[in-house]
Structure 1
């Protein structure tokens, strides 16, 4: 397994690099945020260990750039910032885990092993699709012109669920189970009504059909076509 450690405390960085290499990991290291961000886009890593207080580029900015290009890259934040608001900010930007300094190397290694066993896509707090952005913290839908689109609570919940399962057909029964938690027989028509009004609100700002109805399968927001060379693109540093 290949790790990237971005940490400006040189003694800690050296200790972490030696510790993980002793455990059989391949480790790249950077003491500067700009250099670390560049390595993250040049090479493929199974996991990135990321400090927040970095020279050159702040760790949260690095995380944001990573998530804009790669939803699958696993990132574990290591930081002396113990404030809960800062932890929440890091997790909302798409970190997979957060460990506060000082920490025990054994716990860190256990968390690394746990993350490496998982297979999932980590999304940030803002879900982008077409000309729109859904802020899952503020529960607001924006156009690319920063115009807020008023959504009813159930319309928002349906859109969020479809985006979190982008590319997958979601049945009306599944939406009801996760949004209403009630007998589907009571709400089968309600789903159609809410999806219809949601489509109309989106259609007022785009000609693209974003929510498709897959016959016999359910509703779906298709995944955008990804550039196969996306991993090789460097961000604007």
Structure 2
């Protein structure tokens, strides 16, 4: 069986000449939950943007279920992948929570009845059905993050990419978010500095540094390797 997503020797160079990705290769099987860790500037967020179809790689190959995504057309990738940004305010811009979650399905051209069903199901999945008529910016940070996840769930992606999902959360919000991520069935790649989150939730860990993958393996092995973690600006959980 083909991996859900496969990247081969991805390179991304920003317009100012900064090389953010330098030959990144990885495979993600359906149902995997993978942590992506590394120091600031390692290229984690750039990798998420490339895998989510929001940035076109400078070089390299992306495949979705064995089919190459090429010719600058990311639609096949975007149909499978949903990206949750670090700051939920970057994702929430509509008059109400319902409208925020409905935006993606409406943009896909789905009929009104299906849009409503998807919004209700997505908000119920994240425990935010009570907030459908609320203004997103009146919610707490943790509540906003849940709604941001709902906006992606409404698109029914097979792979979810999350950038620093626990950043800015108080202990209760963090626990609630971890419980939510544990329960969601989607394949996940989560960029994070929260090493306790990594230890609690992820069977597999990828370490990035200076635009490259420097380690990829079982969490229980990588998190015990203090020398490896320290060499790349990380602390054991």
TM-score normalised by structure 1 residue count: 0.29
Larger Rg: 1
Task: Work out which structure has the larger RCO, using CA pairs closer than 8 Å and 6 or more positions apart in sequence.
Answer: 2
More strand by proportion, 1 or 2? 2
